[in-house]
Structure 1
């Protein structure tokens, strides 16, 4: 029945992260002791005050439709958050609430891209960026941020990639999958190119709250009024407040783009889940103590696990500054253990060492693997031990 499928979906690449998670779950159901380091979500429950706000909203009968772009009270909570945390001022008509940041990004590409428009995507990238661009009729243009550049792109690389068809550039900081963060100075250089070339900047800041070693997150929209005017900030509560399943994200930026996104959402989702919206109001207006508690837990795990991972033969590991991922280059380990590719190495890790990681090929970085440290320190240490033993047992001098 493939002939009934639209062309746009026949070129889609399945999510590498969801695929490895599904395989690991399948093995676990068969009784295999698999440690999964693939999923990109905190291992904490949603904070109690947020859960209570959701329950209260249901008890009060707040279970009906909301405006397509989000509850007015939630928009105000987001506006207050952006002012408080990022010194950014927005109006209600410049904010749109969607069904998670992923849906927000999908909707954004749908309203800004015409057939053949190009979007510059730094490598390594989050797996859904290219697919969403293609689904909107656009063309992904990849620019590689090498390990020597801390997996970040330079202003000159951006300038060289721009053509007459370039519509936008994506900046994801802190990054999934690398965990690297662009400094204010680096963002300023990229913004200069965006202004010179009249590019829209899509700033994915979903990991904003997860930063380490005293590093501060800085939004590119903070640079100036003119940069802010061409930037769409995308964020949400999934990672910061451990609310991945609640599916609430938002976009903030140019009112005409936000209005178009809201109109499109009115024909696709009607609105984000009402209960989840009330929960998010509390997430932003209530205590932020749990956010910091989780951040500290991730940082402490990183401090323990980073040197252990770096000690595995053939693993080249940069220490991330944010998010909860490590992106080691394991090409030497794969080659020395007899595998033709890192993808084959990853499969063997799962089936022989019972450790699930995500192959970097899904992020445009085929020499790497992505590991999430959003799990207990006990499991992390056991997983690294298994990987170390696996590599040493197969190492061919």
Structure 2
């Protein structure tokens, strides 16, 4: 009987690594997770790094899922999500933000908002298409766009402009290859928000150049000093905007992995095709939890928002008192203080702060070129931990300065 001789190269692992897709090899691991991993397992470190509420998912939401398990509700749902959940999402978007969507074909439930972003970029990006991303912005946007063939174009949302996207900066970035504009307001990492007046000139440019907008509004509920304004609410923008959101941040449901996308039915149909062949559907228990949160969890959301508002005041005032200039975040749960006056690069500052003071924060450079010279600190932690972190940071600043 003929025997096949095994091929055993001297360094098979090196040869196998060459089989990894070039774009995957070229992207760097998440800068947020890198600092989280450095502090993991060290009980003495106060972590201000990961953007996760410190609240437990409310009891009535957990109880609804326990009852569903006991009833044996463990099967697939329709690809687009439970019909009753899509109805509640459509109602919620209308009542909360003035956006009218048909639940049957203008809402898709996804595996977190991250899957919704990935679906949109897969559906709309062809090789060579330019994806415009304001900087600083969430660390995942650039890699997801790049993995899906997009050419990234960063537009600085400068601190001097309140970290807002301006029409002038956007207009300068547009070329004949421009196709998508990805925006995230309230913004991670800066906490900046955009008003109706801020969006108006942006919307006109988007329409003039026939762009599609991917609007990540995961922090929409956490807008403190005004009402959240979606770019989709402006005239002529709903049909060309995919609104992406979810339940992780405002409802303290990060681990349930339920997000959603709302928008033009033709655009969503393209996203749904990909969703059908990959995730198939979001986890059924997560969808049940999301349904319960929309039907009975709005008071919980409001309570957590008020807690974040109080923590914002405590932490931002504390940063300023120890000599760190900090833009007033109007949304989300992040402070983005400037460290430029120290003369240190953000990565060096963050590493020293972790090693010498036991405080983990994220260096601004991981959020794009516009983030250098800053530090992202999450105030989604208890007031006691925030106060201790500020005390340690003050001691570190005295030694450093």
Q: Per the shorter chain, which TM-score range?
A: over 0.9
Q: CA deviation at 1:100?
A: 0.3
Q: Find the aligned partners of 1:285 and 1:310 in 2 and give their Cα distance.
A: 40
Q: CA deviation at 1:267?
A: 1.4
Give the aligned length.
Answer: 383
Show CA shifts across 1:335-377 (max 9, x none).
2xxx4x2211111111111000000011011111100000001
Match of 1:124 in 2: 136
- Out of 357, 360, 364, which is 2:361 matched to? 357
Q: Find the aligned partners of 2:278 and 2:27 in 1 and give their Cα distance.
A: 20
Match of 1:342 in 2: 346
1:15-54 matches, within 5 Å, as 15-28=30-43, 33-54=44-65
Match of 2:380 in 1: 374
Match of 1:215 in 2: 226
Q: CA deviation at 1:89?
A: 1.3
TM-score by length of 1: 0.94
Q: CA deviation at 1:241?
A: 0.4
SS in 2 for 1:167: strand
Q: CA deviation at 1:287?
A: 3.6
Show CA shifts across 1:97-130 (max 9, x none).
1100011101110110000101110011100000
Match of 2:283 in 1: 273
SS in 1 for 2:328: coil
Aligned partners of 1:39 and 1:372 also within 8 Å: yes
Match of 1:108 in 2: 120
SS in 2 for 1:27: coil
- Out of 315, 323, 336, which is 1:327 matched to? 336
1:157 aligns with 2:169: yes
Q: Find the aligned partners of 1:276 and 1:56 in 2 and give their Cα distance.
A: 13
SS in 1 for 2:349: helix
1:1-397 matches, within 5 Å, as 1=14, 2-28=17-43, 33-91=44-102, 92-212=104-224, 214-224=225-235, 226-313=236-323, 315-333=324-342, 335=343, 339=344, 341-364=345-368, 365-395=371-401
Aligned partners of 1:68 and 1:263 also within 8 Å: no
- List runs of 5+ in structure 2 lacking aligned partners: 1-13
**CA RMSD across the alignment:** 1.1
Q: Find the aligned partners of 2:36 and 2:30 in 1 and give their Cα distance.
A: 10
- List runs of 5+ in structure 1 lacking aligned partners: none
Show CA shifts across 1:16-66 (max 9, x none).
1111111111433xxxx1000001011001112211221122122110011
Aligned partners of 1:325 and 1:370 also within 8 Å: yes
Give runs of ≥4 in structure 1 deviating > 3 Å. Answer: none
Bigger mean CA offset, 70-79 vs 239-248: 70-79
Show CA shifts across 1:287-331 (max 9, x none).
411101000001111111211101223x22111001000001112
SS in 2 for 1:93: coil
Q: Find the aligned partners of 2:270 and 2:73 in 1 and give their Cα distance.
A: 26
Aligned partners of 1:177 and 1:326 also within 8 Å: yes
